[in-house]
């Protein structure tokens, strides 16, 4: 696998935490940082795509009416209160 160098500035405490984790896991700081970036990108890309999909669905008028959602949640909250659960 081909890689490229990326320089990142972090707070001293983050650097210390990364060093401790690298030592504990017997991994390099570079490996852990690359893994963290991969995970962050996966989550952010998924979230952005979900937002774009939602906007496209809204443009096609495929959304749910706000009042219907509100009534549904109010009903669920009322049921929880009747059951003695905290809302």
Residues in contact with 1: Cβ distance below 8 Å, sequence separation at least 6, in sequence order? none
Confidence of residue 69 (pLDDT cuts 50, 70, 90): very high
Which pLDDT belongs to residue 47?
A: 97
Per-residue pLDDT tens over the stretch 1-53: 899 999 999 999 999 999 999 999 999 999 999 999 999 999 999 999 999 99
Q: What is the pLDDT of residue 87?
A: 54
Three-state DSSP state, 30: helix
pLDDT at 80: 84
In b/e form, how buried is each residue of 26-40, taking b as 16+ CB within 10 angstroms? eeeeeeebeeeeeee
Place of tokens 């659960």: 85
73: confidence class by pLDDT, cuts 50, 70, 90: very high
Q: Of 51, 48, 47, 67, give the one whose Cα is nearest residue 59.
A: 51
């Amino acid at each position: 696998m081909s890689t490229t160098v990326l320089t990142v500035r972090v707070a001293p405490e983050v650097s210390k935490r990364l060093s401790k984790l690298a030592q504990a896991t017997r991994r390099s700081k570079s490996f852990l940082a690359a893994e963290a970036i991969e995970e962050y990108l996966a989550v952010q890309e998924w979230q952005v795509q979900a937002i774009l999909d939602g906007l496209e669905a809204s443009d096609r008028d495929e959304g749910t009416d706000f009042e219907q959602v509100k009534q549904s949640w109010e009903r669920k909250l009322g049921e929880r209160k009747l059951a003695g659960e905290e809302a």
